[in-house]
Structure formats: C-alpha cells, structure tokens
Amino acid sequence: MIEVDPNTRKKLLKNRIKMGWVICKTNDYMVAKRCFRYSRFNHTHKECKGVETCPLCSGNHKLKECTTPKSEYKCINCQVYNRHHTDEQIDKAHSSLDKKCPSIGSIKKNTSKTQIIKPNTSKTNMVQCQKTKLKCYQINLQHSRAAKDNLMQIMNTENKDIAFIQEPYVYQYRIKGITKGYRTYAYGEETNRAAIIIPNDTIDAIMITQCSDNDVLLEIKMGQKTFYAASAYMEYNDAIEKSLKKKGSWSSSKE
C-alpha cells in the first residue's frame, strides 16, 4: 500500500505495474474508519461524543458485557440508514463488525467519489460567486496529507479567495500544512471535521461560534457587502436539513 499524488494515482489505475516477474493491477485502498466506542463511522473513540454502543446488539453497553445471541444481532449503522432511507431498506440482522455490512459498502462508495483533488479545476467542485467576485473552492481531503499538499499548490497558483474543506489533514489534533499567512477557521479542540481557509487579506471574517460544532460558520464582509459562508461535514446517514435549518435561522435573524 502506498500514498501517491493525484496524477500518479490516475496513471496507476489505468495501467498495470511490474513487480519482479509479476504484472499487477492497482486499485484504491479504501478504509472505513470506525469508532469502537460508539460503533459509528468516520471518527475514532478519541473524537467521539456519543454514548457507549455495543457493536453486536446496538445496546448501550460494552462489547465484553454483551450476552445477546448471534441470531439477535442488530447493526446500529444499518438501523440508522433505514431510518433515513424509508424507501431503500437494507439488512440490519448482523453486527456492525461484519465485513459484509451494507453500510461499509456505502461508506467506501462515497469515499471513492471524493478521494482525490483533480488539478484540472474545470472538473472540480468550484463555484464562481458572481455578485462578490469571489473564487471559492470546495473539497473533501479525506485527512490525506498528499491531497492537502495538492490543494495548497492550487490555492497558491490560482489565487483562490476561500476554500471550504471537509475532513482536513490533522496531526496531533491540529490542522497542519496550511500555507503561512492563510487564515484557517475550524472549531473543536480534538475534532476538526470541517474548516474554511481564507488566503485573501481583503476579506474580513468572524466565526459564529454558537453555530459552529463539527462544522464552521463565518460572517464575511467585503466592502459594504456582508454574507455568510459555512463548511460542514455530514455522514452519509445524517439529517442535513437539521443543520441547515440551524444556520439558516441564525443568519436570517441577523438580516
């Protein structure tokens, strides 16, 4: 297993490589990060704010205390998925540690779609804000150092004004590797699942802490114009409307 830059990854996936006398195929290595306290995906026990959840039966107790027979196992992740997808139910009669869990497949599928930053910006999720003439960039870095380095190169050479980041590169609970002079906005002492980076010195920004948890909400001023910008990370089964309603109600009350 190796970590490579986007261009190298693209070449490796299109071609075979020779290792000694063997011709090998290459594929993306996808890991579904799981919390072994809460039994949920996309965070570890150090970042967890949830209650103790058994990975076998979904009860609120530790794994070693579980006495539930295998025939009565219930996966907490598949149960949550079914609550949010009433028209697309999946099997929940297994433990959350099962390697064949449908939720793991969904996580890896979503990860593969956002694994890499493409250097050709015409194919990235970039939006030109016409009214304020801001060049904005949005990307999920998947906590990858190589992806972070590639993003900084793009930011440095293409004069982006704002970058909205999900799952930034974090080392020892701090976002690392941002170009010196760039302002970084993130919330949380141990958990940084979203961030906003502003290289443009002409932009005034204030973080709205009462609406920032794992995500970030800023009040931005440019001349006589004031608007709000948010960067948020959502799990595949999160209720997005609830978070948007919270931020929308706050910004509306300020207008």
Domain 121-254 sits in CATH at 3.60.10.10
Alpha carbons 203 and 134: distance in angstroms, whole number:
10
Position 242: which residue type? K
Strand 17-19 and strand 126-129: the pairing is unpaired
Q: What is the pTM of this model?
A: 0.47
Alpha carbons 202 and 131: distance in angstroms, whole number:
16
C-alpha angle 188/84/126, rounded to 5°?
55
Residue-level pLDDT at 124: 41
CB 212 within 8 A of CB 186: no
CB 216 within 8 A of CB 228: no
Residue-level pLDDT at 110: 53
pLDDT digits 0-9 by tens, 143-161: 888 888 888 888 888 878 8
CB 221 within 8 A of CB 229: no
Alpha carbons 53 and 66: distance in angstroms, whole number:
10
pLDDT digits 0-9 by tens, 39-76: 877 677 777 777 888 999 999 998 889 999 999 999 98
- Domain ranges within the chain, ordered by starting residue: 31-113, 121-254
pLDDT digits 0-9 by tens, 202-236: 788 888 776 656 678 888 887 778 888 888 887 76
